[in-house]
Chains A and B, each alone.
Chain A
Amino acid sequence: MTTFPIERIRADFPILAEKIRGKDLVYLDNAASCQKPDIVIECMNHVYRHDYANIHRGVHTLSVRSTDKYEAAREKVRDFINAESSKEIIFVRGATEAINLIAQTYGKANIKAGDEILITAMEHHSNIVPWQMLCEQTEAVLRVAPMNQVGELLFDDFTQLLNEKTKLVAVVHMSNALGTINPVKDIIAAAHAKDIPVLLDGAQAIPHIPVDVQTLDCDFYVFSGHKLYGPSGIGVLYGKQAFLEAMPPYQGGGDMIRTVTFEKSTYAALPHKFEAGTPAIAEVIGLGAAIGYLNGIGMADIAAYEAELLTYATEQAKQIDGLKIIGEAKDKGAILSFTLGKIHPHDIGTMLDSLGIAIRAGHHCAMPVMEFYGVPATARASFAMYNTKQEIDVLMEGIKSLIKVFG
């Protein structure tokens, strides 16, 4: 790990030089959103200064340039997750929109009254609410596979919940509230053994773990660009081609059609069928730049470096009296959720902010997880590849000091 180019990486992220309340920024809210490297910022700047026009519509030079760059980014995404075809890469606003899209197209077409959708106890609201909405529309039933006290899925309970009524399994790859990495290969194998398709919510996993959708054999994989060092407002829905072909379109409009008459319209081929209207052009190209940047470092090296950070942070945290870690799954990504007894997470957040440390305090859009642990909220430090052990030291010193102040 001595070879991980941490100094160079830090230098690539201009915001890391920012002073917050006069202190060096220690940015540990990466699970909410990541900071952007120069290459992404400059890429989007370049698009607007030199290449920008609407895509897929014009014969003029700029439209061709923008279209080429936009489609090149799709190819980069395809390669990054090793999808078989770039037709399987649909650009959406983010993980949330991707899940809603699947619920309202695949779900509405295939899920009927009495059918079941299976999720887990550790889902983000964005992998709960769209299914509840679908259940309201169709009278399908949402089932929830339980977890244990350390935040691991109870796999036997999960498999027992799979039955002939189960029409879809939708599971978070890595939990944002707990850090748990789910045994997704086993989950997919168990579901496929009963011919049930599987959607993985990869919003948290994608910046931390190498993802190969063909090896996983998942049917859908969704993630957001902004958690992958890319721009906000852009995300990806991967779906196996056969599924996407069979699904009805999501929104109607320009770009998603082949022909339109007032009597009937026919739809464009994949992936355009699901990309109605003018998309987030510069953001897609910026996401491509972020992926290029990550490829230059290597996802396997990033995962190994972050694992070291997490181990270090966990060891340090355990030495603090009164600190309770929420989420201690054996297989875990670089997230440290914790409580400090009676000190409320919002007070922790404000206190640490005064030291330049950005963490998240709240329910992390996972209220059922908070309820499970019987807390209204937790404090969460979430790490990225540009964080360091020194920053973890600053965090731990801050926590110790605030415990004293609250006494």
Chain B
Amino acid sequence: MFEDLRDLYQEVIFDHNRNPRNFRVIEDADRKVEGFNPLCGDRLTLYLKMDGDRIADASFQGSGCAISTASVSLMTEIIKDKTEAEAEALFLTFHEMTTGKSEDIQLEAVGKLAVLAGVREYPARVKCATLAWHTLDAALKNQQEAVSTE
């Protein structure tokens, strides 16, 4: 019945929505930033444990739609063991992929995150996918205040 939505709601997204990965608090986190999407009321808290400039552990709390939950869940998986610079580069690639500015985005470069490329056809939902990454961006820049997508 929802054939048109296959590109947006891929099975991986349903999977991460049902069973979000790294859905926990890191008690001794070095970075903790809140992200908020006022449009839909979604809130998440991102926790990072650093080892020098390497992300040793990442986790999150909060609730949102399937797209935003899957996005943050996938993100916490993929950024683990990345350096700050690598994570920042990933953020930029992800941003380009989801806002569709660049046609010839290297989907291999983003690995599993490619399942979220479908949001670029749904401008109303792009922020759901990017909330996690804007929150990460703030955490990497060591900002304390909450991030808003607006």
Q: Which residues of A contact B (CB under 8 A)?
A: 21-22, 343-347, 350-351, 354-355, 361-363, 367, 370, 376-377, 398, 401-402, 405-407
Contacts and interface: CB of A to CB of B under 8 A. Distances in A.
A347 B4 CA distance: 14
A343 B2 CA distance: 16
A354 B5 contact: yes
Contacts of A21: 4
Given A346-B125, A347-B66, A363-B40, 5 more contacts: A21-B4, A344-B63, A351-B5, A355-B2, A376-B42
Interface residues of B, number: 22
A255 to B, nearest CB: 36
A225 B150 CA distance: 28
A406 B66 contact: yes
B41 A354 contact: no
Contacts of B134: none
A362 B5 contact: no
B8 interface: yes
Nearest to B14: A406
Interface string B91-129: 000000000000000000000000000000010110010
Nearest to B127: A346
Contacts, number: 61
B40 A376 contact: yes
Contact of B41 (A22, A347, A362): A362
B31 interface: no
B67 interface: yes
Nearest to B122: A350
Contact of A402 (B2, B39, B43, B128): B2
Nearest to A375: B41
B42 A401 contact: no
Nearest to B64: A344
B145 to A, nearest CB: 20
B128 A376 contact: no
Interface of B: 1-2, 4-5, 8-9, 14, 17, 39-43, 63-67, 122, 124-125, 128
B14 A362 contact: no
27 contacts: A21-B4, A22-B4, A344-B63, A344-B64, A344-B66, A345-B40, A345-B65, A346-B65, A346-B125, A347-B9, A347-B66, A350-B5, A350-B122, A350-B124, A351-B2, A351-B5, A351-B9, A354-B2, A376-B42, A376-B64, A401-B2, A402-B2, A405-B2, A405-B14, A406-B14, A406-B17, A407-B14
A407 B11 CA distance: 12
A344 B40 contact: yes
A376 B5 contact: no
Nearest to B41: A376
Nearest to B125: A350
B8 A350 contact: yes
Contacts of A346: 40, 65, 67, 125, 128
B125 A376 contact: no
B121 to A, nearest CB: 11
A345 B64 CA distance: 9
Contacts of A347: 9, 65-67
A346 B125 CA distance: 8
B4 A344 contact: no
A383 B46 CA distance: 40
Given A21-B4, A347-B67, A351-B5, A376 B43 contact: yes
A354 B5 CA distance: 7
A377 B41 contact: yes
Nearest to A405: B2
Nearest 4 pairs of A and B residues by beta carbon: A376-B41, A344-B65, A346-B65, A401-B1
A350 B8 CA distance: 10
